[in-house]
Structure 1
Amino acid sequence: MSARIMLPTSLCRLLFGVAVTVLVLASNVFAHEIRPAYLQIDEMAVNRYKVVWRTPMLSGMRLPIALRFQDGVRNVTEPAERDLPDSLVQTRVIETDGGLAGKRVEFVGLQATITDVLVRVHLLDGTVETTMIHPSQPWIDFAATRSPLAAARVYFVSGFQHILLGIDHLLFVFGLLFIVRSRWMLVKTITAFTVAHSITLAIATLGKVDVPALPLNATIALSILFLGPEIVRVSCGQTSFTIRHPWIVSFAFGLLHGFGFASGLTALGLPQGDIPFALLMFNLGVEAGQLAFVGLMLLLIAALKSIEIRLPRGMELMPAYVVGILGAYWTVDRIVAMFVGIT
């Protein structure tokens, strides 16, 4: 026996308002603090290391995270700072008796953020260790060498987190689900999006093309706004080029989103030699996160269909409203930020 649930109009409006508010607030948080900090330590000579410490900027201010070395670690040169548009880079040379093994570096203040820290250590014997530090454990103990599998896991998880915390990218995929009407077309559409953003992710990460961040972010927001009216047309039984050929539109906008994904990898400031491997694992992480999101949405849609929840017309169009309103909000917000940045 199926259940039919009619929600009061007032409750529908309340749910809609809460959904939009939560998404907007979440977007304002995640759009900035998901960029990780980066610590690179290169062994220059026995017991001597070059340290590069890069912290992201939030609303024009450096995140309050500081390095703290254990006693016995001495500065050979004092920290030299360099301001970049999206981060602050601090460079110094240190020395310590007995090397780094058994030493701890603490990231003071990390526990008060939602920012991770990517740590890369390059030793004279060619060994490279890569570790991701999270706010729940804001320190690293240097011990045995980590395997290449551990490094692969770091980049994979970073890509997975980047797509799941990148609410603008997920909202675009979310909008596509309400335009595509067949499983085969859904496969083509998601595949086209994957191929497109993989191409531009590689191009941007390898430094072949440099796209300014502010105009790019505004264009990505515009791609989300574009889907809102298309979802309404589908609900009204109308058609358009996007509805008939969603995979073409998905591919076109996927090229833009790929440049956005690249910012998550290039923000790490990796050496050129590490980029191909990191690019592969990061991209696989992005794809895994995207497929997990699509799978979850399809399960939720199937669950709602199984109990035949009948919603008022206004509630049925809520996905279009959410996609359209947030797309418009981000578009205006990012265009304003773009012109403010120019002036």
Structure 2
Amino acid sequence: MKRLLTLLPALLLLLLALRAGAHELRPAYLQIEQRTGQEFAVSWRVPARGDLRLSLNVRFDQGVTPLGPPVGRIANGYYTETWSILHESDLAGVSVTIDGLQNTMTDALAHIRWRDGREQLQRLLPDRPQFVVDRKASSGQIATTYLVLGIEHILLGLDHLLFVLALVLLVRSWKPLVATITAFTLAHSITLAAAVLGFVSVPQAPVEAVIALSIVFVASEILQRRRGRDSLAIRKPWLVAFGFGLLHGLGFAGALTEIGVPQHAIPLALALFNIGVEAGQLAFIAAVAAVFVLLQRLPPVQQWQLRTGQSVVTVASWPLAYLVGGLAAWWLLDRTLSMLI
């Protein structure tokens, strides 16, 4: 029974990691910006792995004239195409379709900016791969779009989720956990806002490497606690969560900065993206807690706990710490080498 309890959470986490890599879920991004009265610059970015990219393409209706072929390149996990188009009526009434989107599990965000300050924001889904350019984005549309983007970003960000899981395993009891997660939330909210508003600018590559390092550190502290040792992270986990939360906020900001926000609604988009991140984070913590509660209610597990006096969380903490720390150590090595090569 003890072997089952130690292996089951680790296997579940490994399956989660494999599943996350099995399908491409990162969003695509279309940006259209007016240069002159009739000319627009187009940038189309789709997820890529190595030299392969998702087969997604932008298609305008017949009223749009391209000015030369697109220029494409692959960098930082995305394939990006740029080109220019002409339209005699400010793109009003133009139909835009993302061909191939219906065959994926991802979505796409379209952001159009005019020289007079107007902006349109549209989120496209596999069952709705088309939209018509016709209006300025409403506050409700912006709020919904960035709330969903925030939820998606945290739930698809395996490194952020593993850091939260490591905090749960390190703290264990509810009151200190609430304080720790609150500190983490406050910290990454501060740096997220500072980066999006332009007060802080940090290259993403070292930030991603240090995020991996933060997971390795907390995983090692879980093992130190199991061995009965003491440290600052064990005594004051909220302080460590706050410090590393500042770095995780810069990671969130990198994703949001790449997507962009409507200039007329920066506070709204920023606030809803952050709320979405927190909603996804709380949902993940609730799911982790539910798994352990369900395990503890199984009759064989209850009998084993009465006989040994050990909880499921205590027994599962060390294999999960090794698995989480091992994955993070690999990311740290990979991200560090990527900066050096």
1:23 is the counterpart of 2:16? yes
Q: Percent identity?
A: 40
Which range moves more in the overlay, 154-163 or 77-86?
A: 77-86
- Count of paired positions: 334
| Aligned partners of 2:34 and 2:113 also within 8 Å | yes
| Structure-2 change in CA distance of 1:263 and 1:135 (3 Å) | farther
| Counterpart among 47, 71, 78 of residue 62 in structure 2 | 71
| Structure-2 change in CA distance of 1:229 and 1:221 (3 Å) | same
Where does 1:109-148 land on structure 2 (aligned, <5 Å)? Answer: 109-123=100-114, 126-143=117-134, 145-148=136-139
1:162 is the counterpart of 2:160? no
Distance 2:251 2:261 in 1: 17
Which range moves more in the overlay, 230-239 or 186-195?
A: 230-239
Distance 2:112 2:338 in 1: 38
Which range moves more in the overlay, 148-157 or 220-229?
A: 220-229
Which range moves more in the overlay, 311-320 or 108-117?
A: 311-320
| Counterpart among 182, 186, 189 of residue 177 in structure 2 | 186
| Aligned partners of 2:183 and 2:238 also within 8 Å | yes
Aligned to 1:322: 320
Cα deviation per residue 1:51-93 (whole Å; 9 max; x = unaligned)? 2323344235443321112223222454344665454443333
| Counterpart among 207, 216, 223 of residue 214 in structure 2 | 223
1:342 is the counterpart of 2:340? yes
Which range moves more in the overlay, 278-287 or 82-91?
A: 82-91
1:257 is the counterpart of 2:255? no
Distance 2:59 2:129 in 1: 11
Deviation at 1:303, TM superposition (A): 4.7
Deviation at 1:176, TM superposition (A): 1.4
1:175 is the counterpart of 2:171? no
Q: Structure 1-normalised TM-score? A: 0.81
Query: Structure 2 counterpart of 1:328, which letter?
Result: G
Deviation at 1:186, TM superposition (A): 1.9
| Aligned partners of 1:225 and 1:325 also within 8 Å | no
Distance 1:336 1:76 in 2: 40
Aligned to 1:4: none
Deviation at 1:131, TM superposition (A): 1.5
Aligned to 2:186: 195
Query: Structure 2 counterpart of 1:133, which letter?
Result: L
Q: Which runs of 5+ in 2 are unaligned?
A: none
Deviation at 1:239, TM superposition (A): 3.8
| Structure-2 change in CA distance of 1:27 and 1:211 (3 Å) | farther
| Structure-2 change in CA distance of 1:340 and 1:293 (3 Å) | closer
Q: Which runs of 5+ in 1 are unaligned?
A: 1-6
- The structure, 1 or 2, with the larger RCO (C-alpha pairs under 8 Å, 6+ apart) is 1
Q: Structure 2-normalised TM-score? A: 0.82
RMSD of aligned C-alpha atoms? Answer: 3.3
Cα deviation per residue 1:160-204 (whole Å; 9 max; x = unaligned)? 110111122112111212222443322211111011111222233
Distance 1:80 1:332 in 2: 34
Distance 1:13 1:321 in 2: 6
